[in-house]
Structure 1
Amino acid sequence: MALQRRLALGALTGGSLLVIYFLCRYLENHLSFVPLRQCHGPTQRPSSSQDSPARQSNSDQWSHPAHTSTLPPELSSGTVLPKHPQTPTPKTQTATAAKHKPGKNNSLDNLKTTEAPYIGDTYMREVIQPQTNCSDSIRSRITKTELSGRFLKDVPVLQWAEHVTPKQHQRLSRYPGAHGWGGIEYKTLVETLSVLNSSANWQLLDDWKDLGNESECIRCAVVGNGGILKDSKKGKEIDSHHYVFRTNGAIINGFEQDVGSRTTHYTFSTNTMMNSMRGYARAGFKGPPKSKETRYVFLPDHGRDYLLMKAAVTHTLVEQGPEKGKDPSKYFGQDVSAEKLKMYHPDFIRYLRNRFLRSKTLKTKYKDIYRPSTGAVMLLAALHTCDQVSAYGFMTPDYKKYSDHYYDKTNHQVGFYINHDLRMEMTLWQQLHQAGLIRLYMHNEVRSNQK
């Protein structure tokens, strides 16, 4: 009898352990987001492509702003946040990245990822020939830095007529905002992008052959609006570059001595341009700079960007949306042509977000409105197209010493909002400067040189 009881107890114990084992296996397969320490002991979360070098060196770069709202003013007035698509990444002629190892030129083809679908570290690839044979170009230097693993030289910076196809629309429609074509009707895309059908529309620096004067290297000045430029006396130096990039509320009149007077490329989204015209009107901003050499580079945040682009090219009024009935010539001049209008490719913006500015915000409910700031997109676009880049008016570690903008009449501290990660951007500018990939204007360097 005692033997029977022991056998029964052993069978019961074995059965219980078997039930626990299968229960743990079920939880592991179906509830993988729950730590299964009770089943397998301590676990270590596997690394993924989200842990890029930028994030690893930037563990404490995000904190919620001191403002009462986590949304910036341009997103606090009736903006509808897009629902996040959960469609898996398609198989296309693109390349995919899994892990980014600094210091190595990884072959990014045919690699599998386990990242969230909205990340989409998969991009259109094109053969993009450099416009110069500059021996000291950023492209040649970046291969020798720890940032080389993040740099893709063949992601198109701009989108144009040849990019809009049903297949590409299906692929990009899964990404919202500036990172794709989510919510944009195919008809609108065709009508807009089909008029961008010349070489000037896919080349950011389309007039280099005429402008170069046999220069070996393309030198670009990228000018932000930071208060560090006040009393900098950098105007002539800025204007001496082949190209001068500006963005948003770029007020020039009265500040030429500090910021220069030329503008070859003005980067904006329709939203940021309209808000700049409203918010900085008293400071003197009446609209985008206008000159014969100025190109207008749209950062397409919404469908309204495509509608304004189409109206500008066709010299008609905007058909619908917030700008319905408005005349684009008011912003870009009466003689604006399709050759002077350009639009960033959503793959390029998503690539910048994923490879260079992978913020912790992407793990929050605000992931769909987060993107690199307009100034960051502009600076990184220059990094991918120019041979040598000098950056002025961008945030530096001593930013608290300066007002938000160089044209502020009274001191305004920099505001931090959830849709951009300005601290991460500041860290990236320092990394690029220290790696010799850009020359970043900083007051402390000026003072040390004067001593």
Structure 2
Amino acid sequence: MALKRQLLVAVSVVCLLVVYMLYVKMQWPPSLYLLDIRKAQAVASRPNSIAEDSTPRDSDLSQRDGTSTPPNPTAAKKTAALKTQPFTNPPKPAQNQILNAFSSKSEGEDEAKKSTKALPAKPTKPPGPTDPPYIGDSYMTEEFPSQTNCLDGIRNRIKESEFGSRFLERIPVLQWARHATEEQHQRLKQYPGTHGWGGVDYDTLKDTLSVLNSSANWRMLDDWETRKNKSECSRCAVVGNGGILNGSKKGKEIDGHHYVFRTNGAVIQGFEEDVGSRTTHYTFSTNTLMNSMRSYGGAGYHGPPVSPETRYVFLPDHDRDYLLMKAAATHTPVERGPERGKDPTRYFGKDVSAEKLKMYHPDFIRYLRNRFLRSNILKGRYKDIYRPSTGAAMLLAALHTCDQVSAYGFMTPDYQKYSDHYYDKSYHKVAFYANHDMRMEMVVWQHLHDAGLITLYMRQ
């Protein structure tokens, strides 16, 4: 019996040892096991990165949960250059990248259409953490009275096009005095450059926008009712500076539109036959204006066009834009910054007034970047400085403002046949830079043309 008891005890001990060894093997090393769990949890909780097809998302983490990502302190400095970090091999978006960009409906759009609040309206808050905070696909919405009785305008046709799900009818194109609130500044200061107020302190913002206090400042076509024409549709010519216009003889056609938009180094004298002579809206940033005067002075560009019908539309990417805007509206020297002490009438003429000045809303420029020009650059090292080109902002602003849009001097698939600018004295190859995606813009212009939303000038 004693022997049996000893055998039973020995078997029990062996069994316990086997069970213990199996347990240790399953748990060892515990740090790796826990690491796998933590990795899985991190992936599950992390906001999705930008999709490969660059399809815009519908949320803004900073507005969903009250958190925000502080702006990159170097971002404002990086945007100071007109063209930054030249690309020898610019990004080439695939065709399906552009097509997919217009494939899904946004919650932000639904919220925008429901908004009937008086100015300034609160931004929409689409649900769901699907984007990194710097994207910010959530925008202010406003109610805008229609300026025309055009039944066949872009706003009616775009809803049925491939761009319909991207288009927000009630997003403000321009900012003005009613937008300068502490609440809005708190919301937008997390976005640097043209996409927010990250480089602009609240006092500077308020002082500048306070002078933009009339309907002329928030309406792009502010003189439509006083124009002596019987048209029910506003027709706008948007003129880029591409070499395709050299020898085009489109000047008379361009001047025949109700409104003529131009940008940056728009040399007119001596090229009227090809590009026309009128300018109703001139789009620029302070930086691009100063760089254009330095770079294209030899071609005849000495400053913005000046005429009684010309309006000046600032594309702000730094506080220097707000400072120059205020100086121009008040006919006083620029208070500080790179243009300190300069007389704004030197650029805009002695008859410039606050009613002739406009400024793009940062929500609008961020919306153009996110929904119309969502480039793969946003996934790389230059995401903080990437923005739509000045010409692209101008053309897409016209798309959101005018009933009919004709585009001249913009990039087309045969761009290599033409010099960079129509006023170049010799052929200059088109240059590509890190802060714009010109190839993507070119594809978007083709899609807008094919959809019948714009008429794009192309050589046959």
Q: TM-score range by the shorter chain?
A: 0.7 to 0.9
Residue by residue over 1:59-84, the C-alpha shift from the partner in whole angstroms, topping out at 9 and shown as x without a partner, is xxxxxxxxxxx99963669xxxxxxx
Counterparts of 2:106 and 2:186 in 1: how far apart (Å)? 30
Instruction: Check the 8 A contact 1:228/1:399 in 2, yes or no.
Output: yes
Deviation at 1:129, TM superposition (A): 2.4
Aligned length: 399
1:51-450 pair list within 5 angstroms? 51-53=53-55, 74=82, 102=103, 104=105, 107-109=109-111, 110-211=126-227, 213-444=229-460
Residue by residue over 1:344-398, the C-alpha shift from the partner in whole angstroms, topping out at 9 and shown as x without a partner, is 0011000100111111111122111111000000000000000000000000000
Matched letter for residue 25 of structure 2: T
Matched letter for residue 24 of structure 1: D
SS across alignment from 1:155: coil
Q: Identity percentage over the alignment?
A: 64
Matched letter for residue 308 of structure 2: K
Instruction: Check the 8 A contact 1:370/1:418 in 2, yes or no.
Output: yes
Deviation at 1:4, TM superposition (A): 3.8
Do the aligned partners of residues 218 and 105 (structure 1) sit closer, same or farther apart at CA in structure 2, a change above 3 Å counting? farther
SS across alignment from 2:290: helix
Counterparts of 2:34 and 2:327 in 1: how far apart (Å)? 62
Counterparts of 2:219 and 2:300 in 1: how far apart (Å)? 31
Do the aligned partners of residues 19 and 321 (structure 1) sit closer, same or farther apart at CA in structure 2, a change above 3 Å counting? closer
Deviation at 1:153, TM superposition (A): 0.8
* 222-231 vs 14-23, greater mean Cα deviation: 14-23
Matched letter for residue 162 of structure 2: E
SS across alignment from 1:162: helix
Q: TM-score, normalised by structure 1?
A: 0.83
Instruction: Check the 8 A contact 2:54/2:376 in 1, yes or no.
Output: no
Deviation at 1:160, TM superposition (A): 0.3
**Partner residue of 2:39 out of 22, 27, 35:** 27
Instruction: Check the 8 A contact 2:83/2:433 in 1, yes or no.
Output: no
Deviation at 1:29, TM superposition (A): 2.7
Instruction: Check the 8 A contact 1:103/1:148 in 2, yes or no.
Output: no
Counterparts of 2:84 and 2:154 in 1: how far apart (Å)? 39
Q: TM-score, normalised by structure 2?
A: 0.82
Do the aligned partners of residues 224 and 307 (structure 1) sit closer, same or farther apart at CA in structure 2, a change above 3 Å counting? same
SS across alignment from 1:175: coil
User: 1:9 corresponds to which residue?
Assistant: 21
Deviation at 1:33, TM superposition (A): 9.9
Counterparts of 1:71 and 1:115 in 2: how far apart (Å)? 23
Counterparts of 2:101 and 2:110 in 1: how far apart (Å)? 9
Residue by residue over 1:125-160, the C-alpha shift from the partner in whole angstroms, topping out at 9 and shown as x without a partner, is 001222112111111111111111111011100000
SS across alignment from 2:433: coil
SS across alignment from 2:297: coil
Q: Return 5+ residue gaps in structure 1 as ranges.
A: 35-44, 56-69, 78-98, 445-451
Counterparts of 2:433 and 2:139 in 1: how far apart (Å)? 28
Matched letter for residue 82 of structure 2: E
Counterparts of 2:80 and 2:184 in 1: how far apart (Å)? 31
Pick the structure with greater CA Rg. 2
SS across alignment from 2:19: helix
Instruction: Check the 8 A contact 1:50/1:115 in 2, yes or no.
Output: no
Matched letter for residue 10 of structure 1: L
Q: Return 5+ residue gaps in structure 2 as ranges.
A: 1-10, 58-77, 86-99, 112-125
Deviation at 1:50, TM superposition (A): 8.0
Matched letter for residue 305 of structure 1: D
Residue by residue over 1:265-301, the C-alpha shift from the partner in whole angstroms, topping out at 9 and shown as x without a partner, is 0000000011111100010001100111000000001
Counterparts of 1:173 and 1:271 in 2: how far apart (Å)? 20
Deviation at 1:213, TM superposition (A): 1.8
